[in-house]
A and B are shown apart, each in its own frame.
Chain A
Amino acid sequence: MKKTKLISALLMTALAAFLLTGCGGDKGGENGEVIVYNWGEYIDPDTIDMFEEETGIKVIYDEYETNEIMYPKVASGTSNYDLLCPSDYMIQKLIENDLLTEINFDNIPNMKNIGQQYLDQSKEFDPENKYSVPYCFGTVGLLYNKTMVDEPIDSWDVLWDEKYSGNILMQDSVRDAFMVSLKRLGYSMNSLDAAQLEEARDELIAQKPLTQAYVVDQVRDKMIGDEAAIGVIYSGEAIYTQRENENLEYVVPKEGSNVWIDCWVIPKNAQNKENAEAFINFMCREDIALMNFEYITYSTPNDAARALIEDEAIRNSEIAFPDLSKYNDMETFHYLGEEGDEMYNEYWKQVKSAD
């Protein structure tokens, strides 16, 4: 009796496993499928349902947490993704390694909603705007607590001011930290000039005793909790922190800063290129872009969607929608090649290990 029970249990398990494998091979909706690989929490889930309903294309949705984790998955070809949403410098790297395919813009009539200034900015990594469609963007700047600062803040110099010793939060990533230092010295944040980088490094080492900490996500929580006076932060987070703590103010320093853009791109080994283009087109539709803006709260390059925002304060917010032409030196990160990365990492190590 017991034996038959055990055997039937085993058979059930095998059957279940078999059925599940069967599901994996399912070709999805009536008009095929599209495999999307996006940042985590980077889309309003309702828009995916709407897309499936309207087009009959099944969306297989997958998420990653950093550009660096996405890259090897795409490059090794473990899965044939149809659509990715990497950041600027990573798009450049993908293009340089011949991993992307040109987008057929005839299939994306909603491209007209994307503001020209964002396309111009994209030329830094996609010179002919052939491979990418901007999805989200933002700047990097200073978030400060009005009650803890008694002067107008408009320069990176404030991060080197001894008055705020112990109240400064820096970004704990190579490129972001060096961006601050290089920009403050008037150099390009993509500089590969050893003399400039050494100068930037020495400035960072000089600044180190003044900082409270090198952090990443905690800037947000620490600033909300009044635990620091000034922090380097992404503009997308700034609006959220202001909602939680009204004493916080965000500014893009006058020396210029980083403007980052995350774009849709189609990898070379995509199996459903036309469906991917349909998906991009759908994401560029003004009502959908608006839904995503409200969900993600990162700035949208979709001008038509911006016009639909009801809250005037947000629609005209300098934080969410900066006029990029107003600043002299807004730059986008470039992929510096392996040697460049190594150089930055070496200098960063020296900063981090300095006393």
Chain B
Amino acid sequence: MKKFFSRFYITIIFIFLYAPIATLIVLSFNKSKTRAKWGGFTTKWYVELFENEVILEALQNTLLLALLSALIATVIGTAACIAINHMHRAWRTFFMGVTNIPMLNADIVTGISLMLLYLSFGMSFGFTTILLAHITFNIPYVILSVMPKMKQLNKHTYEAAMDLGAGPVYAFFRVVFPDLLPGIFTGFLMAFTMSLDDFIITHFTKGPGVDTLSTKIYTELKKGIKPEMYALSTIIFVAVLVLLIIINKAPAKKETGREL
């Protein structure tokens, strides 16, 4: 009986979480343009999606932004971790707090403040401003996932490498870096997904002619969202799902491998 209820409870939760997405996926195969009618099964929205240059350009922007911002944020974030780890304890707590604030901050505050900052520097809005914004909000996520790995490090391996004649840079890349790698990888993927589905910050920092998928979808509100977007959202959902599976699988495998 108890088992039945726990299963029932879990099922309810999953229905609440996934019913909307399932609806979206079903609608993306609906021949009729309106959600009120089922016009038969079709994959034409997927075909039309890939013939639509505007959407493809938005997709390209989105992926490029996600990749570049995640890469750059990973480098900056990892470097920051090394620095923070070597700080005096009080300073370390302070800096961890400071890096956590932007994550808890509402997106709209980050977006508007970045817009105001760019304006005061007289920058012209475009791809660069979005990229800078994405790097900014990605860095804390990288630090968050690299820092625990940093704390697990055995300090003495680095010292031993130095004793054996390695320079600091060489010692870092040969000894410290491999141990940090799972954390860095997780941070990168997390940053990538955060950038992929950001709307508000992108909206405030974008310039004319540059659209990401989320801003593009939003502009269709007046005329009603086109079914191509259902198809695209389905693809994004699957992509994010795959990424999450990789994130959750990857570090686990690495660790068990090392223990053996």
Contact = CB atoms under 8 A, between A and B. Distances in A.
A61 interface: yes
B255 interface: no
Given A40-B222, A79-B207, A221 B75 contact: no
B119 A217 contact: no
Given A17-B68, A77-B119, A222-B36, A35 B208 contact: yes
A64 interface: yes
Interface in B63-100: 64, 68, 71-72, 75
A29 B194 CA distance: 35
A111 interface: no
B32 interface: yes
B226 interface: yes
A63 to B, nearest CB: 4
Most B C-beta atoms less than 10 A away, residue of A2, A3, A65, A81:
A65
A322 B50 CA distance: 38
A194 B169 CA distance: 75
Interface string A112-123: 000000000000
Interface in B211-231: 211, 216, 218-224, 226
B113 interface: no
Nearest to A222: B36
Nearest to A61: B209
A245 to B, nearest CB: 8
Interface string A71-108: 00000111101000000000000000000000000000
A220 B223 contact: no
A16 to B, nearest CB: 7
A65 B209 CA distance: 15
Contacts of B64: 20
A41 B222 contact: yes
A245 B229 CA distance: 23
A41 B119 contact: no
Interface string A44-82: 010000000000000011111110000000001111010
Contact of A40 (B118, B128, B207, B221): B221
Nearest to B224: A217
A174 to B, nearest CB: 17
Contact of A42 (B34, B211, B222): B222
A9 B74 CA distance: 13
B119 A24 contact: no
A313 interface: no
Given A21-B127, A24-B127, A60-B209, A41 B35 contact: no
A24 B208 contact: no
Contact of B209 (A42, A62, A244): A62
Given A23-B127, A65-B222, A2 B173 contact: yes
B72 A13 contact: yes
A36 B174 CA distance: 53
Contacts of A3: 169-170, 173
A65 B224 CA distance: 11
B54 interface: yes
B131 interface: yes
B71 A13 contact: yes
B34 A224 contact: yes
A164 interface: no
A27 to B, nearest CB: 12
Nearest to A76: B119
Interface in B113-133: 115, 118-119, 124-128, 131
Contacts of A220: 34, 224
B37 interface: yes
A244 B34 contact: yes
A79 B208 contact: yes
Contacts of A76: 115, 119
Contact of A296 (B54, B75, B174, B223): B223
6 contacts: A3-B169, A61-B208, A63-B211, A78-B118, A79-B207, A220-B224
A-B complex: 4 closest residue pairs judged by Cβ atoms = A40-B219, A225-B36, A62-B208, A63-B219
